[in-house]
């Protein structure tokens, strides 16, 4: 399976299982709009193979993800940090699923702690260009970009 297809498949499966959110390719007649207030999270994996999983999405997506994962509560203080934490956990689970899908359960990997930062449209375009990534359209509302950058050894 192509690396970008693999990581997109992992993202769609994890979103459905973890947050009951549904990811599909954007409709052909819908232009991709790069979200504002972007967050970027990445995890580097090392072992028999090495690479990085990148995940970019809007703050609105992170809030929706958090709410779907644990529901709203009376204690919605610090909600932006909680949403960011949910986004990091999504990347963690996607990376774990992706390495198993791509390399099997015989390989052993170490995953870095997720690194999160604010991102720009330039980051989005750069990852699209360097990885050949294409966004997914989640719940017919959010464009989410996921990419796998593999490092070839030897």
Using CB under 8 A as the criterion, which residues of the chain lie in contact with another protein when the complex forms? 14, 17-18, 66, 69-71, 82, 85-86, 88-89, 92-93, 95-97, 99-100, 105-111, 113
- Residue 97's H or E segment, with its range, is helix 79-103
Rounded least distance, CB 51 to another protein, Å: 15
CB of 91 to another protein, least distance (A): 10
The rounded distance, in Å, linking the Cα atoms of 49 and 57 is 26
- Work out how close the CB of 3 gets to another protein at its nearest, in angstroms, rounded to a whole number: 17
34-49 burial string, b = 16+ CB within 10 Å, else e?
bbeebbbbbbbbeeee
Place of tokens 């260009």: 129
CB of 73 to another protein, least distance (A): 8
Nearer to another protein, 91 or 127 (CB): 91
Overall residue count recorded for the chain in this entry: 154
Closer residue to another protein, CB minimum distance, 58 or 97: 97
Whether residue 58 contacts residue 138, with contact meaning beta carbons closer than 8 Å, is answered with no
| Nearer Cβ to another protein (29/72) | 72
């Amino acid at each position: 399976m192509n690396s970008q297809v693999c990581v997109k498949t992992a993202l769609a499966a994890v979103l459905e299982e973890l947050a009951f959110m549904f990811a599909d390719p954007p409709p052909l007649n819908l232009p991709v709009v790069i979200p504002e207030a972007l967050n970027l999270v990445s995890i580097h994996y090392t072992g028999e193979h090495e690479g990085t999983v990148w995940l970019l999405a809007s703050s609105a997506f992170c809030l929706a993800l958090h709410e779907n994962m644990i529901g709203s509560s009376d204690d919605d203080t610090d909600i932006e940090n909680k949403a960011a934490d949910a986004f990091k956990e999504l990347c963690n689970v996607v990376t774990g699923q992706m390495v198993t899908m791509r390399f099997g359960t015989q390989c052993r990997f170490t995953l870095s702690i997720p690194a999160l930062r604010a991102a720009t449209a330039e980051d989005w375009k750069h990852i699209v260009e360097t990885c050949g990534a294409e966004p997914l359209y989640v719940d017919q509302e959010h464009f989410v970009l996921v990419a796998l950058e593999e490092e070839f050894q030897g």
